[in-house]
Protein backbone atom coordinates (compact mmCIF):
# COMPACT_ATOMS: atom_id res chain seq x y z
CA UNK A 1 0.00 0.00 0.00
CA UNK A 2 1.17 3.53 -0.78
CA UNK A 3 2.50 5.58 2.15
CA UNK A 4 0.25 8.53 1.33
CA UNK A 5 1.30 10.57 4.34
CA UNK A 6 4.95 10.50 3.28
CA UNK A 7 3.93 11.36 -0.28
CA UNK A 8 2.05 14.48 0.80
CA UNK A 9 4.86 15.56 3.10
CA UNK A 10 7.16 15.24 0.08
CA UNK A 11 5.00 17.07 -2.46
CA UNK A 12 3.36 19.63 -0.13
CA UNK A 13 4.97 22.81 -1.49
CA UNK A 14 4.61 21.82 -5.14
CA UNK A 15 1.05 20.55 -4.61
CA UNK A 16 0.06 23.79 -2.87
CA UNK A 17 1.41 25.89 -5.73
CA UNK A 18 -0.21 23.63 -8.34
CA UNK A 19 -3.68 23.82 -6.78
CA UNK A 20 -3.68 27.45 -5.63
CA UNK A 21 -5.63 28.58 -8.70
CA UNK A 22 -8.32 25.85 -8.61
CA UNK A 23 -11.83 27.30 -8.81
CA UNK A 24 -14.11 24.26 -9.31
CA UNK A 25 -14.95 24.13 -5.60
CA UNK A 26 -16.01 27.76 -5.05
CA UNK A 27 -19.70 27.62 -6.10
CA UNK A 28 -20.37 24.48 -4.08
CA UNK A 29 -18.54 25.87 -1.07
CA UNK A 30 -20.53 29.11 -1.23
CA UNK A 31 -23.74 27.05 -1.28
CA UNK A 32 -22.53 25.09 1.77
CA UNK A 33 -21.60 28.27 3.64
CA UNK A 34 -24.98 29.86 2.83
CA UNK A 35 -26.68 27.10 4.82
CA UNK A 36 -24.71 27.89 7.97
CA UNK A 37 -25.17 30.65 10.51
CA UNK A 38 -22.63 33.52 10.53
CA UNK A 39 -19.46 32.59 12.44
CA UNK A 40 -20.46 28.91 12.47
CA UNK A 41 -17.77 26.37 13.34
CA UNK A 42 -16.43 24.32 10.43
CA UNK A 43 -14.05 21.38 10.45
CA UNK A 44 -12.00 21.27 7.23
CA UNK A 45 -11.05 17.60 6.92
CA UNK A 46 -7.97 16.96 4.81
CA UNK A 47 -7.33 20.69 4.67
CA UNK A 48 -4.07 20.34 2.76
CA UNK A 49 -2.15 23.59 2.52
CA UNK A 50 -5.13 25.55 3.80
CA UNK A 51 -6.28 27.54 0.79
CA UNK A 52 -9.92 26.49 1.22
CA UNK A 53 -9.67 27.01 4.99
CA UNK A 54 -8.45 30.53 4.27
CA UNK A 55 -11.39 31.16 1.92
CA UNK A 56 -13.92 30.14 4.57
CA UNK A 57 -12.03 31.90 7.35
CA UNK A 58 -12.09 35.17 5.42
CA UNK A 59 -15.86 34.86 5.11
CA UNK A 60 -16.12 34.99 8.89
CA UNK A 61 -16.44 31.32 9.80
CA UNK A 62 -14.67 29.66 12.71
CA UNK A 63 -12.32 27.22 10.97
CA UNK A 64 -10.50 24.21 12.33
CA UNK A 65 -8.41 22.30 9.78
CA UNK A 66 -6.96 18.81 10.03
CA UNK A 67 -4.60 16.86 7.80
CA UNK A 68 -2.36 13.85 8.36
CA UNK A 69 0.57 15.59 6.63
CA UNK A 70 2.64 17.68 9.05
CA UNK A 71 4.11 19.60 6.13
CA UNK A 72 0.64 20.49 4.81
CA UNK A 73 -0.39 21.67 8.28
CA UNK A 74 2.76 23.81 8.47
CA UNK A 75 1.81 25.50 5.19
CA UNK A 76 -1.83 25.89 6.26
CA UNK A 77 -0.84 27.70 9.47
CA UNK A 78 1.05 30.23 7.37
CA UNK A 79 -1.76 30.67 4.86
CA UNK A 80 -4.61 31.07 7.36
CA UNK A 81 -3.05 32.16 10.67
CA UNK A 82 -6.40 32.98 12.31
CA UNK A 83 -7.71 29.43 11.79
CA UNK A 84 -6.74 26.47 13.98
CA UNK A 85 -4.88 23.51 12.51
CA UNK A 86 -4.05 20.07 13.85
CA UNK A 87 -2.29 16.98 12.53
CA UNK A 88 -4.93 14.24 12.57
CA UNK A 89 -5.53 10.99 10.65
CA UNK A 90 -9.18 10.36 9.73
CA UNK A 91 -8.59 6.61 10.03
CA UNK A 92 -8.09 7.09 13.78
CA UNK A 93 -10.19 8.73 16.54
CA UNK A 94 -10.07 12.48 15.88
CA UNK A 95 -9.86 13.53 19.53
CA UNK A 96 -11.99 16.67 19.53
CA UNK A 97 -14.00 17.48 22.64
CA UNK A 98 -16.44 19.63 20.69
CA UNK A 99 -18.64 19.15 17.65
CA UNK A 100 -19.00 21.37 14.58
CA UNK A 101 -21.82 23.17 12.74
CA UNK A 102 -20.33 22.14 9.41
CA UNK A 103 -17.83 19.60 8.13
CA UNK A 104 -16.00 20.18 4.87
CA UNK A 105 -14.26 17.20 3.24
CA UNK A 106 -12.97 17.92 -0.24
CA UNK A 107 -10.64 15.48 -2.02
CA UNK A 108 -10.42 13.25 1.07
CA UNK A 109 -12.55 10.15 0.48
CA UNK A 110 -10.85 9.79 -2.89
CA UNK A 111 -7.81 8.41 -1.02
CA UNK A 112 -9.85 5.92 1.07
CA UNK A 113 -10.40 2.31 -0.14
CA UNK A 114 -14.11 1.69 -0.64
CA UNK A 115 -14.15 -1.07 1.97
CA UNK A 116 -13.11 1.60 4.53
CA UNK A 117 -15.32 4.51 3.41
CA UNK A 118 -18.23 3.69 5.74
CA UNK A 119 -15.99 3.59 8.84
CA UNK A 120 -14.18 6.80 7.86
CA UNK A 121 -17.47 8.61 7.22
CA UNK A 122 -18.76 7.49 10.61
CA UNK A 123 -15.59 8.79 12.25
CA UNK A 124 -15.88 12.19 10.56
CA UNK A 125 -19.64 12.67 10.85
CA UNK A 126 -19.50 11.82 14.53
CA UNK A 127 -18.11 15.33 14.99
CA UNK A 128 -21.07 17.00 13.22
CA UNK A 129 -23.85 18.56 15.30
CA UNK A 130 -27.41 17.40 14.73
CA UNK A 131 -28.82 19.72 12.07
CA UNK A 132 -25.31 20.50 10.84
CA UNK A 133 -24.16 20.29 7.22
CA UNK A 134 -21.59 18.07 5.54
CA UNK A 135 -19.90 19.07 2.27
CA UNK A 136 -17.95 16.36 0.44
CA UNK A 137 -16.20 16.29 -2.94
CA UNK A 138 -14.64 13.33 -4.78
CA UNK A 139 -13.55 12.46 -8.31
CA UNK A 140 -16.18 10.91 -10.59
CA UNK A 141 -15.28 7.60 -12.19
CA UNK A 142 -14.90 7.59 -15.97
CA UNK A 143 -16.36 4.80 -18.14
CA UNK A 144 -14.10 1.72 -18.07
CA UNK A 145 -11.90 3.27 -15.37
CA UNK A 146 -10.79 1.16 -12.41
CA UNK A 147 -12.66 1.98 -9.19
CA UNK A 148 -9.39 2.06 -7.24
CA UNK A 149 -5.81 2.44 -8.42
CA UNK A 150 -2.29 3.47 -7.51
CA UNK A 151 -1.02 6.24 -9.75
CA UNK A 152 2.70 6.70 -10.36
CA UNK A 153 3.20 10.41 -10.96
CA UNK A 154 5.97 12.79 -11.96
CA UNK A 155 4.14 16.13 -12.25
CA UNK A 156 6.70 18.04 -10.21
CA UNK A 157 9.89 16.62 -11.70
CA UNK A 158 10.28 13.71 -9.31
CA UNK A 159 8.54 10.37 -8.78
CA UNK A 160 5.76 9.79 -6.27
CA UNK A 161 2.72 7.53 -5.88
CA UNK A 162 -0.83 8.12 -4.70
CA UNK A 163 -3.79 5.84 -4.15
CA UNK A 164 -7.12 6.95 -5.65
CA UNK A 165 -10.73 5.81 -5.32
CA UNK A 166 -13.37 6.97 -7.84
CA UNK A 167 -17.13 7.20 -7.35
CA UNK A 168 -20.42 7.71 -9.16
CA UNK A 169 -22.75 10.38 -7.81
CA UNK A 170 -25.40 7.79 -6.85
CA UNK A 171 -22.78 5.68 -5.09
CA UNK A 172 -21.56 8.61 -3.00
CA UNK A 173 -25.13 9.59 -2.13
CA UNK A 174 -25.75 6.04 -0.87
CA UNK A 175 -22.69 6.14 1.37
CA UNK A 176 -23.91 9.44 2.80
CA UNK A 177 -27.50 8.28 3.33
CA UNK A 178 -26.29 5.04 4.90
CA UNK A 179 -24.32 7.22 7.34
CA UNK A 180 -27.62 8.76 8.44
CA UNK A 181 -27.49 12.06 6.55
CA UNK A 182 -30.03 13.67 4.22
CA UNK A 183 -28.70 14.82 0.83
CA UNK A 184 -29.81 18.42 0.22
CA UNK A 185 -27.72 19.40 -2.82
CA UNK A 186 -25.55 17.70 -5.43
CA UNK A 187 -23.52 18.95 -8.37
CA UNK A 188 -20.71 17.93 -10.70
CA UNK A 189 -18.04 20.42 -11.80
CA UNK A 190 -15.42 19.78 -14.47
CA UNK A 191 -11.84 20.90 -13.93
CA UNK A 192 -9.31 19.80 -16.53
CA UNK A 193 -9.71 16.04 -16.94
CA UNK A 194 -11.58 15.61 -13.65
CA UNK A 195 -15.29 15.71 -12.89
CA UNK A 196 -15.74 16.65 -9.23
CA UNK A 197 -18.85 15.28 -7.51
CA UNK A 198 -19.94 17.69 -4.77
CA UNK A 199 -22.65 16.82 -2.27
CA UNK A 200 -24.09 18.73 0.67
CA UNK A 201 -25.98 16.73 3.29
CA UNK A 202 -27.67 17.49 6.63
CA UNK A 203 -27.40 15.46 9.81
Residue 203 in any domain: the answer is no
Residue 198 in any domain: the answer is no
Q: What is the CATH number of the domain that holds 84?
A: 3.40.50.150
Whether residue 102 is predicted with pLDDT greater than 80 in this model: the reply is: yes
- pLDDT on residue 2: 80
Indicate the pLDDT class of residue 1, thresholds 50, 70 and 90: low
- pLDDT on residue 47: 98
Whether residue 95 is predicted with pLDDT greater than 90 in this model: the reply is: no
Residue 184 in any domain: the answer is yes
Residue 156 in any domain: the answer is yes
Number of domains the chain contains = 1
Residue 201 in any domain: the answer is no
- pLDDT digit string (tens) for 160-195? 999 999 999 999 999 999 999 999 999 999 999 999
Residue 28 in any domain: the answer is yes
Q: What is the mean pLDDT of residues 18-46?
A: 96
Residue 200 in any domain: the answer is no
- pLDDT digit string (tens) for 129-155? 999 999 999 999 999 999 999 999 998
In which domain, by residue range, is 68 found? 4-91+98-132+141-160+172-193
Residues 67 and 73 sit within 8 Å (Cβ to Cβ): yes
Indicate the pLDDT class of residue 107, thresholds 50, 70 and 90: very high
Residue 26 in any domain: the answer is yes
Amino acid sequence: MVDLKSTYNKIAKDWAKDHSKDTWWIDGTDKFLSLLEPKASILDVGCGSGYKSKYMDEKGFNITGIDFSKEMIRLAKKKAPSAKFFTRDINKPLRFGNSFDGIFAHAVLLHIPKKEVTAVLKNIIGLLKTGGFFNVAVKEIWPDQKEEEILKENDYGYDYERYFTYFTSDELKKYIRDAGLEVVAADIKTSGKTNWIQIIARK
